[in-house]
Every structure is written in C-alpha cells, then in structure tokens.
Amino acid sequence: MVGAALLVGAAAAGAPSKQPHIAFMLVDDLGFNDAWAVNTSDVAGAWPHVGALANESVRIATYYTTMLCTPTRGAFMTGRLPQRLGLHHGVIGGFQDYGLPANETTIADKLKGAGYATAHVGKWHLGNFDDASEPTRRGFDASYGYQNGEEDHFTRILQGLGDFQASSLADGASYYTVDDLLKINGTHNSFLFVDRAVAVVGAHDASIPLFLYLALQDTHAPIQAPAGYADDAACASIGSSRHYPDGARREFCGMVRAADESIANVTAAIDANFGKRNSVIVIAGDNGGIVKGGGNNWPLRGQKGQPWEGGVRNHALIRAPGRLAPGLYDKGMVHVVDLHATLVALAGGASAYEIDGLDVWAALRDGSPSPRSEVLLMYDPCAQHGPLAVNCSAPAYSYRDGDYKLVHPSIINDTWIMPPPSVGAAYADDGAPSCVHPEPHGAVSLDAACVSLVDNATYLYDLSVDPEERVDLAAEKPDVVFAIQAKVLDFVARHEMYPCNVPGGPCFDVDQAGNASCTALGYFRPWIRN
C-alpha cells in the first residue's frame, strides 16, 4: 500500500514528537441543513457517529467557507483568501491549465517543516494540468484519490475518462488506467477512501505526528449512495417533492450515512493507534448544499455557488480532548482560512508570508470572543448574470462586517427551499424556484427559469436578528453600505490576483493538448511534465 508504507518510512526517519496528530476531514457540498448539528434536519439521524463525536467537540456556531469547492480548498491549503490565489471565479475544470499557484506554501508544507508526516486521501481539485500541481508536490508525502471536482462514485469516470491515482514521494505517481479502473469498478469511493485512510493511520509510527487530510466525495453529486444505505432507518421515511423528485433526498441521505461511517472508522483508527488525547480531529463542510444535488440549506437563503448564507455558511467541529472543552462556540465567526492558521500554530509550524487566517485556538479554548470580526465572503470580477453568461464589467461581492452582511449585486436572487416531507406527510410548496444546476467538475450554472430573479441591487442584512437574510436594510443604512464597499474595493486593489479562467483569459478555454493527451490515454493525468 503506497501511502501507508511511505509514512512508516517518514516516521522512522524523524525524532519522537509530542505534537498532536491532526486529521482534517472535509465533507463535500454539505448543506447547512444536512449536518449533524441540526437536530431538526430530516437527515440528522444519518449522523449517529459524528453526532456522538460532536458531543465531545467544540462546535463552531458561525462557520464560513467560500461558495464553491476549489476556492475553499485553496483557502484551507494556504490560509489565504482565494482572491489572492486567482481561484475566485468558478472552479478548475479537467482540461484547464491552471491551479493553486506554485509559489504558495500549503498547510502540508508547513506541517512537514514542523516535523509532521503528511497524507492526502480523496478529492484534490486544485489543479491537475502539470506534475507540479500534484499533492505530493504540494507538501504531502502520499496521496490517494482523484484530481477533479467530481466523478462517478462507483466507476471513477468523469466525462468519459477515468480519474484516480495513488502517489508517494518514494514511488512517484501511479495513475489508474482503464484496466486498473475495471478492477475496482462497482466499489463506492467511500469504501476506497476510508480503507486507505485507516491503513495510513494503522501503519504510522505514533511517535511522529501525522497530518491526515481526508477530503470525502460524499455528499457531492452525482447522487449515488452505496447500495442499501438509502434504506437505512434514518433515511427510509424521507419523501419526495418538486425540488427533490424520485427519492433524490433519500438517496442523498444514504450518502450522508456513508460519510458518517467513513468518519467513524477513521476516528476509531486514530483513537486506537494514537489515543484520543494525542490527536485533534476537525470535521467541516466546504460550501453550501446544492438542491439539485440533494442538499438543503433550510432555513438559510440560497445554496452552493451563491453568496447568500446558504452558499457560504456551514458547520465545523474540533475534537481535542484535554485541549478543548466540548460545547458550542458562539462568540463570533470563524472562516476556513482561520482553521489553516489555527492548525499550523497548534502544530508548531510557521507562515513565511502574510496570510488572511487568524489563530482562533485561544478563543475556542477559553470561550472568549473570536479575533475574526469581518471577512470577505466572495468577490468575483466576472459575475454570472444569466444562463452560462458572464458579465466582466460588473463584479459581484459579499462581505461580513460584524453583524452586517453586504451582497452586491445579488447575482442569483435565490430564496429559501424547504426539505421534502416525510413519506405521506402534508407539504406546503411555496413555488420558489431552485436556481442552480450542478455542472461537470463541480461547477454550477444558473437555471433559465431564474433569469427574472437576477438584478444588480445591493443588499444589506443584520445577521444578528436576520440570519435568513429576509429584511434588506440597504436603503436605510447607506453609510454602512458605503463603508463595507470601501473595504471590499480596498482589499481587491491591494491583493487580488486576477483569475486567468475568466472569458478571454489565458486559461479559460479547454487546453487542447491536455484534452488530446488524456483522451488518448482514457484517463486524466498531467499533460505538462515538470
């Protein structure tokens, strides 16, 4: 087993360390109403193990990410907002020749510098066009998983091509050919990823700290649960609705059940091999759920790909026995970049240049106010204003400043979508549209039926009394609007790396050499060898 064998060697070469083992487990496209922390959720019962784990953890009440997969991963990896990284317009497609900038230092780099062994399992989605973008060239000793934003959970196929690889510093990269994929065809990725993560932990020398980054494919589209999981008692009573036809939400619940089981098995391995008091476990979502992918963000407004709370507010917990007392942390907001800064500091690592993340460990430990009082939630210089149309003359942005949140312009004026009813129960459908379609590689597009809902208005909300973003205060508080806009424009002027994947940009179009190379092979692999 490539990854496991490598990490034994890495551990043996180092000196014993008292630093905690760290596992960061990311759940893909987890909606606000899809998580363990929402007792009223229709899928809450599908989290029995993580629900129990939450009772041993600090649960962050106000946790923010970005609104899409690639920018959140870039933010966690670097501790820097995606606007600094050029990753703030859409997501990376399979044949686009860009990724996380090569000069950025990742959390894996920093923890390796502090004496950690490092392993990545699952989704990457930070570039696959060249060898230098591989996880093992970005600080990880070993990697096992897929490069793009999504794939079939059972076949590892995306747009007709396979996407799976195992790599290590010792042995290099091994990309799964068509024949290799046939050998594991029919096995759900949940099982492959958890088996590899458990093997990595089990083979690791506990005297050397380990950083495990497990990026689950669940609960990302396509809606495919392992066989029988949607029939679990926690899912069996979930019905259908206009937004969740043909049992889509029930199947999604089966994916939640698989994610819970994966996290439970990895946690058990960590506890058995390292001990609870010698480890820190973080579980978090990466962006809002997407309704047409089975997710739900009720009662928040909007969904994945949107700057509303339903697109950027999520859930996170940290289990650290002997270090953090369990309970709900509700003394302010925490952003994904803060988890980077916090874990790097906890591990004894250092950042050689400016990051946006703030170390929130003392606040979580003491129950004191978060050092985070404001954050840029979204800025896109080429906002989407219609079905697959992009307007590069009208940037869109969203910013949280204390209790206030600014959204300008709305981009997609989406609303509040309830989960489906239980089987046989009454259901009041308010007729609201769902404005986002999932696209290949984890991208999203605007439903044509929602064009009339797109406007260029500026909205302001007081989230302390209006977390569902229902009462617009922009007209009565123009001074607040102006002050927040000035902060956004100042940050962008000083720090933005303009994204190369905008229309007309150097990496907007499909790289034809990459397309031809991968198509000839039948699977994704870097086409620039460096």
Which tens digit of pLDDT belongs to each residue from 74-113? 999 999 999 999 999 999 998 999 999 999 999 999 999 9
pLDDT-based confidence at residue 9 (cuts at 50, 70, 90): very low
What tokens were used for 185?
């065809």
- Which of 376, 393, 425 is the C-terminal boundary of a domain? 376
**Rounded Cα–Cα distance for residues 357 and 40 (Å):** 32
Looking at residue 267, the DSSP 8-state letter turns out to be H
What tokens were used for 264?
């439970």
**Domain for residue 349, yes or no?**
yes
Q: Which residue intervals of 279-322 are DSSP H helices?
A: 309-312
Residue 430's domain spans which residues? 377-495
**Domain for residue 38, yes or no?**
yes
Per-residue model confidence (pLDDT) at position 454? 62
Taking phi over 0 as left and psi of -120 to 50 as alpha, with beta for the rest, 305 belongs to left
Which of 315, 240, 239 lies closest to 57 in space, CA to CA?
A: 315
Which of 165, 90, 153, 193 lies closest to 518 in space, CA to CA?
A: 165
Please enumerate in sequence order all residues whose Cβ is within 8 A of that of 378, keeping only pairs 6 or more positions apart, or say none: 66, 67, 88, 307, 312, 396, 397, 398
- Are 151 and 134 in a shared domain? yes
Query: Are the CB atoms for 380 and 396 separated by under 8 Å?
Result: yes
Checking if the pLDDT of 6 tops 50, the result is: no
**Rounded Cα–Cα distance for residues 304 and 316 (Å):** 17
pLDDT-based confidence at residue 14 (cuts at 50, 70, 90): very low
- List 390's β-bridge partners, or say none: 384
**Rounded Cα–Cα distance for residues 403 and 466 (Å):** 10
Query: Are the CB atoms for 282 and 214 separated by under 8 Å?
Result: no
pLDDT-based confidence at residue 16 (cuts at 50, 70, 90): very low
Query: Are the CB atoms for 438 and 293 separated by under 8 Å?
Result: yes
- Are 470 and 323 in a shared domain? no
Residue bearing the bigger pLDDT, 437 or 90: 90
Query: Are the CB atoms for 421 and 480 separated by under 8 Å?
Result: no
Output the CA–CA distances (angstroms, integers) from residue 392 to 123, 406, 502, in the order listed. 30, 20, 8
H or E stretch at 182: helix 178-184
- List 212's β-bridge partners, or say none: 23, 119
CATH number of the domain that 472 lies in? 3.30.1120.10
- List 108's β-bridge partners, or say none: none
Q: What is the mean pLDDT of residues 476-504?
A: 97
- Which of 356, 376, 396 is the C-terminal boundary of a domain? 376
**Domain for residue 519, yes or no?**
no
- Are 420 and 491 in a shared domain? yes
Per-residue model confidence (pLDDT) at position 495? 98
Number of domain units in the chain:
2
**Domain for residue 401, yes or no?**
yes
Q: What is the mean pLDDT of residues 411-424?
A: 82
Active site residues: 69, 125
192 phi and psi, to 5 degrees? -65, -45
- List 117's β-bridge partners, or say none: 210
- Are 96 and 242 in a shared domain? yes
**Domain for residue 116, yes or no?**
yes
pLDDT-based confidence at residue 452 (cuts at 50, 70, 90): low
**Rounded Cα–Cα distance for residues 196 and 122 (Å):** 9
In one letter, which amino acid is 141? Answer: D
- Are 370 and 387 in a shared domain? no
- Are 339 and 320 in a shared domain? yes
- Are 357 and 462 in a shared domain? no
- Are 172 and 116 in a shared domain? yes
In one letter, which amino acid is 325? Answer: A
**Rounded Cα–Cα distance for residues 262 and 284 (Å):** 14
Direct distance between the N- and C-terminal alpha carbons of the chain, in angstroms, rounded to an integer:
25
**Rounded Cα–Cα distance for residues 208 and 115 (Å):** 8
pLDDT-based confidence at residue 409 (cuts at 50, 70, 90): confident
Q: How buried is residue 187: exposed, middle or buried, by Cβ count under 10 Å (0-12/13-18/19+)? A: middle
pLDDT-based confidence at residue 394 (cuts at 50, 70, 90): confident
**Domain for residue 145, yes or no?**
yes
Packing angle between helix 69-78 and helix 336-347, nearest 10 degrees?
30
CA dihedral 187, 189, 191, 195 (to 10 degrees): 120
DSSP for 477-500 reads: -HHHHHHHHHHHHHHHHHH----T
Taking phi over 0 as left and psi of -120 to 50 as alpha, with beta for the rest, 20 belongs to beta
**Domain for residue 345, yes or no?**
yes
Please enumerate in sequence order all residues whose Cβ is within 8 A of that of 128, keeping only pairs 6 or more positions apart, or say none: 92, 94, 99, 134, 147, 148, 524, 525, 526
- Are 227 and 342 in a shared domain? yes
Looking at residue 130, the DSSP 8-state letter turns out to be B
SS3 85: helix
Please enumerate in sequence order all residues whose Cβ is within 8 A of that of 291, keeping only pairs 6 or more positions apart, or say none: 243, 244, 303, 417, 434, 436
Which tens digit of pLDDT belongs to each residue from 283-299? 999 999 999 999 999 99
- Are 382 and 371 in a shared domain? no
Q: Over pLDDT 70: what percentage of the chain?
A: 93
**Domain for residue 130, yes or no?**
yes
Which tens digit of pLDDT belongs to each residue from 60-75? 999 999 999 999 999 9
**Rounded Cα–Cα distance for residues 336 and 329 (Å):** 15
- Which of 376, 397, 424 is the C-terminal boundary of a domain? 376
CATH number of the domain that 273 lies in? 3.40.720.10
Q: Which residue intervals of 348-395 are DSSP H helices?
A: 361-366
Distance of CA 512 to the CA centre of its chain: 29
Which of 247, 267, 265 lies closest to 57 in space, CA to CA?
A: 267
- Are 359 and 389 in a shared domain? no
- Are 350 and 484 in a shared domain? no
